[in-house]
Each structure stands twice: as structure tokens, then as C-alpha cells.
A and B are shown apart, each in its own frame.
Chain A
Amino acid sequence: CDKGFTELNTNPNAPVVPDVDYMFSQSILKGNYVYDRAYFYTSYITCGNYVQHFATAKEISVAGSGDKYGVYDFYQSFYFRYTYTNVLTTLRELIEAAQSPELVNKKSAARIWRVLIMQRITDLYGDVPYSDANKGLREAILLPKYDPQEQIYADLLKELDESIAAFDESKLKFGKADFLYEGSIPKWKKFAYSLMLRVAMRMTRRDPAKAQQWAAKAIQGGIILDEADQAVVKYSNGPQIYNNNPVAWEIVNQDLQRGANGVNNTEWGKYSKTFIDYLKNNNDPRLSVVSVVWNGATPDNTPALQKGMPNGTDGKPANFGTFSEPNPATILQYSAPLIVLSRAETHYLLTEAIIRGWASGNAAAAFKTGMEAAMKNWALFGAAGVIPQASIDAYTAAHALNTGGTLDAQMNQIHTQFWVASLLDEQEAYANWRRTGYPVLTPVNFTGNATGGTIPRRLPYSVPEQGINKKHYDDAVARQGPDLLTTRIWWDKQ
């Protein structure tokens, strides 16, 4: 009585076998901005407002929660809710499908990419599911336990180390399916070592010895120092939404809107006054690259006209249209590249490592190269991003590293530049700001804020998760501290 039922119950619209290459392409493309709105909710509205790159005039209970330190579960838990499912499950399934020794290079690249994403999750929330994560299907672990961040960090380093060691030039490689490096093993190794440096440096305050050990190992192994080795995903202007740069797409479609002309932004978002003031006060040539003010239907990038909106602005101000916002000719192009890991970042971290005595080299030179790289990288955004060499030289000369200064003073210099350079990579900007404390930002103290007027140190766990996975949530909170915006995560603890 059930003849033909098995065939009938086979989905004709989806293969039953995964293709390792296609799954990897998807993992890279969705990348750290895993799902629609991930960039908007996590990076732009939340982290980007915390670090005062951006400002949002909306109410504290909704889209202004990042600007004014409110609690809004829907935005703040978004990364947790969508990243495990939309990228890590894809990676898990492809790693399962790549167990053959012939596929070791593909498997290693997937493991390295997983480290980048896993670090982003733990840096936002602290202790999170890790060793039990993504085991809902094969191991039927429906309610994974939360691992202490310290252990997660240890395993991220181990994963990088093992994956680098496992690469084998004689085995199959990803070709064009790898949007970062087309399967190049040397480049993947540099990317992995750069991630190792990022992971290691995050631990400077908490476990300096380990930070030193792994930072030194990474630098010795060979980090990204040349433009050609940077991790950059290219996008095209359509035809599909996923072909567009997710940063541009999200900012435009969730807030600035084509045709809004700086006046009818749906979430009342602008550049922060803090950010624009800094660029202006330092004659930063990047100002006219990244920022415009709308004059009617025309974007005007004249530096003198640029003006940021103060964080904590309550309601759409009458002069809303006069504030600066991202430049349609660079940042907001749908075909803009997405820089996942730049040599500016590696150079800044290298500078810090040299100052700390963890690496050899010339700190001032590394810092200068970092600033140059940060400015030259805008040329990847097209003609409107090209900054004349003279302007770069003038800027680097005016901001040379004060090698005679205290560690704090030099950290301030390095990480203020890091902060400027990490515009758009808001999650990294926020993590680095929490670790270093630079630049010194003046918090807002808005009525009804949830932090007592301090910039949040982490995001609360997802509210549905608290009910669903209560025991493990309770364990994590008991270990880490109250589930608040103000609780510091392991590497951020004083």
C-alpha cells in the first residue's frame, strides 16, 4: 500500500548531496554578514553606534537602542540567531562532506573561515555555544551548552594552527569557488596567521603571556602585509541582492534609501558627530571619500560642509538633512568590495606587538604603512576613493607614531587610527575599542538607558534562547555575570 512513496517523498527542488565548492562559495559570500539585516542590525545600528561611527535619532526602544544604550532583543540577538544557522551549519555540512584526505585543503579553508565567524559571535556575547554547536542534526544536540570564552579562544587558536598545518599543495584546491583567494594555499595561510594575530591580540589584557606567544607565532608564520594578500570579497552591482555588497545594500535599503536625499532616511541615521569631527579636526583626506552632505538631490563631499549628528539625538531634528552620511560614490556602491581583513589592521596590530616587544621591527614604519594602507584601500572602491599620494604623505607625516610616548599614548594613536580604518567593519571596531579603550569616546546618557550612561560592553543573549536553552543559559550567566549590556566578557574583564 505504499508503492512509490519513497520516490514521491524525495524533494525535486533540492539535491540530497551537498557540493563542497558551492557550499563554500555561499559561506564566503554570506560571510560575516550572514543573513539579510545582519549588517544593519548588528554592525550599523548596534556596534557602529556604540563606537560612534554612526548616530541614529530614533527612539531608544527600537532603532535608537545602539545610539542610546537601550535593550532591544530583536536587533541585539540577531547575530546569535542567524549566524550559527546560516553560515556555521553550511560550514559544518561542507566539512562533513570534505572528510576525504583529497579534500583536506577545502576542509582547512572552511575551518579557518569558521574561526573568523565564531570569534565574531563570542566577541559580541561572551560565553556562547561552541563545542556542542551545530550538532542539532547529526548528534541531535538540540540544546547546546555554552563554553567559557577562554576555552573558545584556546580552540580557535588550535583550529587555526591545525588547519594551517594540514594544507597540502598536492591535494585538490578550491578554484574560483573561493571568493577570497581562488584556493591559493599561501594566501590562506597568511589569512589564517592574520586571524591568529587578531585572536591573540584580543587577549592582551586578560592573558598577556598567551597573547604574546600566539601573536609572535602568527607574525613569524607570515601575516598579510601586501595589498594582494588582503581578504577581500568582490561584489557586483546585482543582478541579485546577494551579488550586492551587503554593507551598501543594508545601509541604503534599511535607512538611507535611494532618493531619500539625506532627508527621508527611514531610521533617521547619519554619521556620528564624533567621527566626522575627528576626521575634520585632523584634516583627514578620507573625509571626502567616505562622507557627503546632500544638497537637494546632489551629494556634496566638500570637507568643510561635513557635519556629524550627535549621538543621543532624540527624534528627527529639523536640520536632519544637513548631516553627513556615507558617500554614494564609494561606500554605497553595490559593487563595492568588502574588506574582511586588511593589511591596515595587521599593520596596526603589528605596531602594537612591536611596541610591546612581542615582535621585532620598526613600530613607526609599521604604523605609517598601516595608515597608508588604510587610505589606499579606499581606491578599491573606485575612482572616487583614490586619495592623492601627497595627501596621504601629509597625513602620515602629521600623525607619525610618537615612539617616545608612553605605551598608552602610542596605543591611543594606533587604535584611534584602527578606529578610523575600521569604518564599516563595525564589529571589529567595537571589539578593538573594548580591548584598547581607544579612542576615548564620550558616552551619552539618555533617559531610560540600560547602562547608566556607559558604552555597552557586550550584547545580551537572545530572549527566546533564554527560554529554550534555559539551563545552559543559566550556567553561562552564573559563570560570566549578569546578562547585561554592562557585563564584561572574559577578555574584556578588568
Chain B
Amino acid sequence: QSPNPVQLSGTVTSAADGQPVIGATITLANAKNVGAVTDPQGHFTLRVPASHGPVQLIVTFIGYERKTINVPAGQTQVDIALGENTKALNEVVVTALGIKKQRKAVTYAMTEVKGSEFTQAREINVADALTGKIAGVNASSLAGGPGSSSRVVIRGNGSFGSDNQPLYVINGMPIDNSTPNVPASGNASIGLNADRGDGIAGINPDDIESITVLKGATASALYGSRAANGVIMITTKKGVKQKGIGVDFNSTLTVETPSIIPDWQYEYGQGQKGLKPVTQADAIASGRLSFGPRIDGANSMQFDGVSRPYTAQKNNIKNFYRTGTTFTNTIAASGGGDFGTYRLSLSDMNNYGLVPHQQLNKKIFSLSLTGNLHKRVTVEGYAQYNIEKAVNRANVSDAPGNPNWGTYMLANTVDVRNLAPGYNTLTGAETLWNPSGFASNPYFVVNRFVNNDDRRRFIGNVSVKFNILDNLFLRGRVNHDFTDVGWTGIVPTGTAYAPKGFFQQQTNGITETNGELTLNYSGRLGKNFTLDAMAGGNQRKAKTNNVILLGTDFSVPNFYDPSNVVSLTTTNQNIRSAVNSVFGSVDLGYKDMLFLTATGRNDWFSTLDPRDNNIFYPSIGASFLLSEAVKLPGWINYAKVRASWAQVGGGTPAAYVLTQTYSLVPGGGHLGQPLQTPTQTVGTTSGLLNAPNASLKPYTSTTYEAGLEARFLGGRLSADLAVYNRRTTDDIVQVSISPASGYNTTFLNVGEMNNKGIELMLSGTAVKQPDFSWDVTFTGSYNKNEVLKLADGLDRIQMDVAVNSYAFIFAEVGKPYSTIKGYKVKKNAEGKTMYNKANGFELTTGLEDLGTGVSPWSGGINNSFSYKRFNLSFLIDGKFGGHVYSGTNLYATRFGLHRITLPGREGGLTVTGVDDENKPFTRTFTYNNDLQAYYDNYKFQSERFIYSSDFIKLRQVILGYSLPANLFSFAKFQSVSLSLVGRNLLILHKKAPNIDPESTFNNSNAQGFEMFGVPRTRSFGLNLMVKL
């Protein structure tokens, strides 16, 4: 026997898949106080006291069979494979700050989705692909065209002042997710009203190993103020130790077509008052009016002075939009050895959108490295570089510069293709097709407008870990995310509403840098207790540098450069902020059945008054394994209950809002004199002023949650249930104040909002045969949101307004956030419609509630089947209980395209009811007597265009075939699979006519407006995955 202690080391792996088992406990059979825990690579090192021999090790880990191993004397290395124990759940999950934990010890709700879920049937923005997959996560993609932003809201909107979107984190460190341009819902006079994407859109799905969603505040308490709305953590793929180089190739080609073709009326064609246009002027005057006579096929004058047959044009949507295509290729090489691992990936995504001339290209390069520099020092690094180019992003919502508006609203007997090329080839002037220059010619827009951006992004992240002792390590991490966006928007010479044009150019440099240092301890206290502790600090710096050029009046037509405009102003914005933090957490485990977690974080904010600029957030949670503590019936294999409480502060004020500043007006002043003005909310041109308030502090979001996780029937069925109550207090509300105060708004710490809800996930294996299996996963959630308080004397805030003030979105006390309001048709006490005696139109009420723009119910069911080498999966999802105000249906009614305008075309429409004095009233509208005006007046009756936004969609279908490897033995393929994929294939249920109810066009807090977005698409294609 050796007089010295023996050092014994080794690796614990899972017998099932060979993956390392992390957190397994190794103890000496005859000395329980000697032990070790495996690290993230599954390694352990144990010092066996000299007095002890022969060595017998006991290896335990939840979810695995307990194993006893005899180690012969002299052996210092032992590799152990653990067999799975079906009795309990074995899972290690990544939690806040990248800390790995056993699932059983997690005291809050979290959901993990494997990266492979996003790589076959793709969305261009990976966040859009979360739809229907995670209970409590409300992901909506926008009708903004390819590459537009996403809106992801976890457990409801919590705040008035922040964007309510989660914090995105890559490999434990936060990244930027700002949206450079949010399209306006109201009138957009200049017309450059396109969504230009958000930060998360820059992540390549092929680089994602897994996405973990931390829903509750307990989970996010460690990330501080920005995590108040939850955290989406992305772990990137890494190389593995192997012989040679592993190569993965993934290629997807999809084609896209509009998912909905509106069902307009095709009985009466272009014209006014039942008459066909006779002259060209008539034809332009009625260019968007389908109030003509019955469609008869005889010739009629059109906008261009050409007479053509008066026939229904049902294919205008199909004829204007092209079939979109998206072709994505990713190739990745990976490998590793004792030195470490690497993975390099190159990806190219090329999209030709539905809108002619719209194009988006993304190239993403990523490199992931891990290195074992020393037996106690490991390094991990991740770097990503994006080159993205978008051409002609489509403007949405209001008519100016929006190619979708005219395409949908063109009179129903005019072929849209006759509007091409949209301009006079000699003069460049836009071809008018309707009397308003603001309703742009779609071909003019796609051929002449410019809406291009170039984006470069670098994300780099390095982590160095130093194992001071076996169970104590120090880790330093640095993350840098830099995005540079160059955007040019041109309203060209010849535009009807701006004949001399507008020039806009922006350069946005967005930087976020985080440095973090943590000390981590993991050990045991006696026989029954485990203790994990962590303490650390983080420094965050954020910087946005914007240069904004605005110009008007091009001198030389069709030449677009700042030198060519008559009027040019340049505005600089350098927005800097920093947050310094210290934080810590303690996890205590008792006998693998009871776990307690406590965290605390203190943040110091640069954007707060130095006299009071720091906040502390605590959290505490517990999880209890019922299945370990008591004997449960045999069919319950695992049961865990959890509960937690947490506070997170969020929504700190923006930089520089504490004191009044005085901006110089850019552009050189007037007659040699400089000009200066109190700083406005956006530079010197918005005309809006915010009264500074130096006493702001972040809001507090307090969450209670409880949950239950269980596995039944030998693991065939599992369930995860969560209930939560999240209350935001002292919310920073940007309150509209009387402009007569000299300011439009001020920030006050007064708001309160509550979200409570329930989330359920069930998954099970319905059939498990050697050749055939069927797995089902169901997720469902309900969130009840209520605005509790805004400010003293203030019970509602207008959040948004539709074009021409036809409808509004409010936050109002006692109601859900994003309440759509508008006008209803007035009824008397007996429920009879009331009419205006003078004109015969319906009287309307004041502003009334019409519904909420945020669906409280959502859910999804995914079925996947595998039969031999085939697999088939389909995801059906739905949202319920929300509403949408449809601008498309409104305008279609005003212009006589909508079927509701059919009554009365022949013989007149008689309305009956009462007048404003409650006397019987009746009036007949005919073509010659205000019928058109009657239908046009529906625009003031907002309730006519409010629809339930409920839907059930066949969201995703994948039919795959895995080719036998021996077919390709010559090329050493490990695997080849080919899949037919489809996204958004069918709408199985909806109530909103003529539109896809998911057609909101911006990712702002004000949800609930639909209006002339880029048509939502159904896509189908082919995916090829090759591994060698």
C-alpha cells in the first residue's frame, strides 16, 4: 500500500448515449466523506486517503442506476458508464448565467427546445419559430416581409414603459435585440415605413444547440433589470472530441406564396354611382372604387386612357406578387482532441420575397472553440460575423410608398399588371391610377423606391475558467456584440405625393459589452446536504451611435446621394449607458429530494440620479421531489413540486432623461444665426418634448410561481404544470401631460400591472414499437393581464392610433393591456339602430372597448411519427381570445370591394331604425343617392372591422427520410436525410375575413392593428441534411 494519498480520476458517461454525466456524485464506499462531483465534461478527481484500500467507488446520479465499482490497486484512471434509471428524470439544464443544474433542483419553470427544431422547416427569424412550441411564450411574426422583426412575450406584457421582450443571451452572455425601425400604425406621410429587423434575427438556427426559455422572474433574477420579461438563452453548438473532422451540411429550399387571397366581390366593377368610367379622368377618379355597374365584359375606360374589357380580375394578388424563394445552406466542420474542440460554420441564406425586387441575403460565419490550456484552466470562445443585405424592404400600413396598398385596393375590373412599370419612362413621374397621390402605384414603388440596408454584426464571447480546487472555480467572461447598420431610404423624384423626393440615410452602430467574473463553489455538507454557491460581478456598457441624414428635393432626378439634395440635415446621436452589478446565489440540496435556491443581485445604473441609483433584487425558491420522499404508486415514476418568489427591477429610464438640455438645430441655422431649442424627444425634429424627471427608479416586478413536474408510465407520459402571478409596481409610465404644460410627456414611477396565468405541457409516447413510434407534445397557456394603475388622475393611456384615427389602442385601468377601442353603432334602449336624420348614416357611440390585441389563450400540439427510416411530424397551433382591427377590410368596404357593400347596388338599400329623437326612421340609399357615401361612412364605425383574431393553423409539417448510409459507402457519409418541409400550410380555423389574423405589422407594445402588410406566406420546400 502506498503511504501517500492516491489520486484517482476518470469520466462518467451515460451508457445510453456516451455523453458525459455532469454532477454525478462519486464516493468511497467505506468513507462517505470522501467524494467528488463530475464537472461539465463528466470528469472527476478523487483523492483516496492512504489508509483506505482496496478502493470501492459508489457512483450516483439522479436518473441513473446506482453503480458500485472496485478499483484495483495501482489504477489511477477509471471510466464509468452509468445505466439509465427509468424511475426518475435525468436531466441537466442550463440556467441563468449559463449555470448547469440538475433539473430536479430547478425551482421555477423553464423549457428547453433543441436546435434541431429550427433547422428543417425554417423561419428567417429564428424567434418566429418559437410559435406554438413553448407554453407561456407568445411569439408572433409580423406581416413586415422577410427579415422583419419578431415579437416574443413571455407570460404577458408586464410593463408600460419597456418593450416587454425577453433578454436574449448567447452562451450565458446578453446580446442586443434592438429594432432600428418600428413601422408606424398611423399616417406615414413620408412613406418609408418598413420594419428593418431586430437583433435576434441575426442568429443562424444551425448554430443553435438548444434554446432555453426562463419564464419566471426567479429564473431571471440573476440577469437583473433587463431580464424582467424573461430570458431566452441560446447555447451554441460546439465540437466534440473525435477522430478526424466531422462535417455537417444542411440545405433548405422553400418557396412561398400568399397564404390568403381576399374574397372580394366580383359582381360590380370599377366605377362610381353605378356608372363605368367614360374618360381617363373618370377612370382615375374611380381607380380604387368598385361601385360600378354589374360586370358585363364590355369595354370600359381605364386609368391609362386605354379601354379594356370590364371583367373581374380575381388574380391581381397572384399577378403582382411573385413566388418567393428562400435558399439556405449551412456547412459546418467540427472536431476535437485532448487540446480542446472546434466548430466552424458558414451559412448563406438568400431570400427573394413575394414583393417584386425584394431580396434579403444573410451570410453568417461562426467559430466555436474550447481549449484545455492547463489541467486547471479551460477556455471557451465563440465568434460570429454576419453580413446581411436587404434590398427594397416593403413599406407597410399607410398608403404612401406601400406597394401592398394599391395591389389590394385597385378596382376589381382593372388588371394590376397594367399599372406597370408605374411611371412615365420619359419624365419618371408616377403613373396615377387613383385620385390620391398618397395611394402609391405599386409598380412605381417596387421599381423606383429604395429601402436598402446593409448590416454587419460581430458577436464575440470568451470565457476562461480556472479550477482553483476540484470544487471551486473562478470564471471570467467577456462578451461583445457590435452591429453596424447602414440604411438608405429613397422616395424618388416623380413620386406623386412628393415630386422632388425625400432622402434618408442612417448609420447605426449598436454596441453592447459585458464583462463578468464569478467564483463558484460546489460541495457537500456532511452526508445529506449539497451546497452550491456562486458570487460575482458584471459590468455592462452599451453604446449606440447614430448618424441620421435627412434630405429633401433631389436636383438631379434618380441620382441618390446626399450631395444631390437641396435640403440636408445631419443629426448625431451618441447614447451611452452602463450598469454595474454584483450578484450571488446559494443552492442547498437535502438528500436529493429537497432543494432551496436563493439569489440576490444589486445593480447600479448610469441612467439614474447618482443620489439614488442602485437597486437590490432578491429571489428564493424551493423544489421538492415527492417521488424520492414518499412511496408513490408504481405508475408515477417521478414527481416534483416547486415554488418560488422573486423580485426583479426593470425598465430603467433611457440615457440623458434626467435633466433638460438644449439642442442646436442642425443644418447651419438661419441667415447665419444658429438656432437652439429645448431638446425634443427625437433630436430636434419630432416637435415632442418630454419634461425631465430626475427622481426615476426602475420598476419592480414581483412573481410568485408554483409548479408540478411528473413522469408516468415508465416515462411514457410527462407533464409540467405552472401557475404564476406576476405584478409590476412602480412601473415607469411615460405619461402624456397637457401640452399646455410646455411638454407632451413626462416619466412617472406609478404604474401597476398584473399578469396571472397557467401553463401546461404534456408529452407522451403513444406508440412505441421497434419500427414505429408516435410521440405527442401538447403545450397550452392562459395569461390574464390587467392594468391596475397608471397615474393619479389618469386611467388610460393611448398607446397607438390607426390611420386617420379610425381605431385606437389603449392601456386602461381595469382592462387588459393593448385594449382596442373605437366607435360602435349607436343603439337605443330597445336595441334599435339610431340614425342621423340629416344624412341617414348610423350614429356612433363614443370610444368603446372592442377587444384586446393580445390573445390570452395559446397552445400547440406536435405529433411526430417514425416508421423505419421515415419520420413525419406536424405542429398545429392556435391562439384564442384576442382581436384584430382590420384596416384592409375597412378600406375594402370604403371602396366597394368588400362583400358587405353588395346590398343595395340594385334597387337600393333601406335602413330602418330610429333617429336621434327616438322617432322611427327609414331611408333608402341608392347608387344615385349616397349609397357609396353610406358604405364609406362605415369607417367611423370601428366595430365593423374588429374581428376575433382566433386561429388554428397547421404551422409546420416535416416528412423526412433517412437514407441508408451504405448507399453512400464510397463517400463515408454518417447519415443523409431528406425532408419535405412546410410552414404555415393551412389555416384550419379563423374568423377574420380576407386577412390572416396574425397580420400585425410592427413589434411595438400596441398590438391589434392589421393593415396592408406584406402578405403572410405559406411555404414549402425540401431540406437535405448530410453528416460525414
Contacts and interface: CB of A to CB of B under 8 A. Distances in A.
Interface of A: 1-2, 4-6, 8-19, 21-23, 25-26, 29, 35-36, 61-62, 73-74, 80-82, 84-86, 88-90, 92-93, 128-129, 132-137, 141-144, 176-177, 179, 234, 236, 238-243, 253, 257-260, 264, 266, 268, 315-316, 318, 447-448, 462, 464-465, 467-472
B687 interface: yes
A239 B838 contact: no
B940 interface: yes
B793 A143 contact: yes
A93 B437 CA distance: 41
Most buried by A among B498, B571, B940: B498
Nearest to A143: B738
Contacts of B631: none
A295 to B, nearest CB: 17
Given A93-B660, A241-B567, A259-B429, A129 B677 contact: no
Most buried by B among A74, A84, A315: A84
B741 A22 contact: no
A93 B662 contact: yes
A152 B832 CA distance: 47
Contact of A177 (B500, B573, B673): B673
27 contacts: A5-B604, A9-B576, A11-B661, A12-B574, A13-B574, A15-B661, A16-B662, A17-B662, A29-B670, A29-B675, A84-B739, A89-B742, A132-B741, A133-B740, A133-B741, A135-B742, A136-B742, A136-B746, A179-B671, A240-B668, A266-B496, A447-B839, A448-B836, A448-B839, A448-B841, A465-B739, A468-B738
A2 B580 contact: yes
Nearest to A144: B740
Nearest to B552: A241
A318 B281 contact: yes
A201 B691 CA distance: 37
B436 interface: yes
Given A61-B940, A136-B691, A239-B567, A16 B659 contact: yes
Contacts of A129: 738, 740-741
A5 B613 contact: yes
Given A9-B607, A22-B673, A177-B673, A86 B738 contact: no
A8 B676 CA distance: 23
Contacts of B553: 238
Interface in B786-801: 793-794, 796, 798
Contacts of A176: 671-673
Interface in B543-593: 552-553, 566-569, 571-574, 576-578, 580, 582
A29 B665 CA distance: 12
A13 B742 contact: no
Nearest to B658: A9
Nearest to B437: A266
Contacts of B297: none
Given A134-B741, A179-B673, 20 more contacts: A5-B606, A8-B577, A9-B577, A16-B661, A23-B662, A25-B675, A85-B743, A86-B677, A88-B742, A90-B678, A136-B743, A142-B738, A143-B793, A179-B670, A242-B665, A242-B667, A318-B281, A448-B836, A448-B838, A465-B739
B108 interface: no
Nearest to A239: B567
Interface of B: 279, 281-282, 285, 429, 432, 435-438, 496-500, 552-553, 566-569, 571-574, 576-578, 580, 582, 602, 604-607, 610, 613-614, 655-656, 658-665, 667-679, 685, 687-689, 691-692, 735-744, 746, 793-794, 796, 798, 804-805, 836, 838-839, 841, 930, 933, 939-940
A80 B744 CA distance: 11
Contacts of B933: 447
B905 to A, nearest CB: 20
A1 B614 contact: yes
Most buried by A among B281, B607, B663: B281
Contact of A264 (B496, B500, B567, B679): B496
Most buried by B among A89, A141, A315: A89
A5 B577 CA distance: 8
Contacts of A470: 793
Contacts of A85: 687-689, 739, 742-744
Nearest to A9: B606
A274 B737 CA distance: 41
Nearest to A265: B437
A305 B676 CA distance: 46
B567 A137 contact: no
Contacts of A90: 677-678
B742 A134 contact: yes
A468 B668 contact: no
A384 to B, nearest CB: 21
A297 to B, nearest CB: 10
A96 to B, nearest CB: 10
B742 A26 contact: no
Contacts, number: 251
A61 B805 CA distance: 11
B499 A26 contact: no
A208 B552 CA distance: 50
A191 B250 CA distance: 78
Contact of B664 (A14, A84, A318): A14
Given A17-B662, A18-B662, A242-B665, A26 B688 contact: no
Contacts of A13: 571-574, 663
Contact of B742 (A14, A84, A464): A84
A464 B736 contact: yes
A81 B660 CA distance: 20
A199 to B, nearest CB: 20
Contact of A19 (B606, B662, B930, B939): B662
B734 to A, nearest CB: 12
Nearest to B748: A142
A246 to B, nearest CB: 12
A392 to B, nearest CB: 30
Contact of B675 (A2, A26, A447): A26
B677 A238 contact: no
Contacts of A253: 498
A63 to B, nearest CB: 10
Given A5-B578, A74-B805, A84 B741 contact: yes
A129 B692 CA distance: 21
A22 to B, nearest CB: 4
A274 B655 CA distance: 54
Contacts of A4: 578
A258 B567 contact: no
A133 to B, nearest CB: 5
A10 to B, nearest CB: 7
Contacts of A8: 576-578, 606
B437 A257 contact: yes
Contacts of A135: 741-742
Q: Which 8 A-B pairs have the closest CB atoms?
A: A136-B741, A129-B740, A22-B676, A134-B742, A14-B661, A240-B667, A259-B499, A89-B742
Contacts of A142: 691, 735, 737-738, 741, 746
Contacts of B669: 22, 25
A137 B662 contact: no
B369 to A, nearest CB: 33
Contact of B660 (A1, A137, A259): A137
Contacts of A238: 553, 566-567
B878 to A, nearest CB: 36
Contact of A137 (B436, B568, B743, B841): B743
A448 B610 CA distance: 58
Contacts of A2: 580, 604, 606, 610, 613-614
Nearest to B574: A12
Contacts of A468: 736-738, 794
A84 B744 CA distance: 10
B738 A469 contact: yes
B539 to A, nearest CB: 9
B367 to A, nearest CB: 33
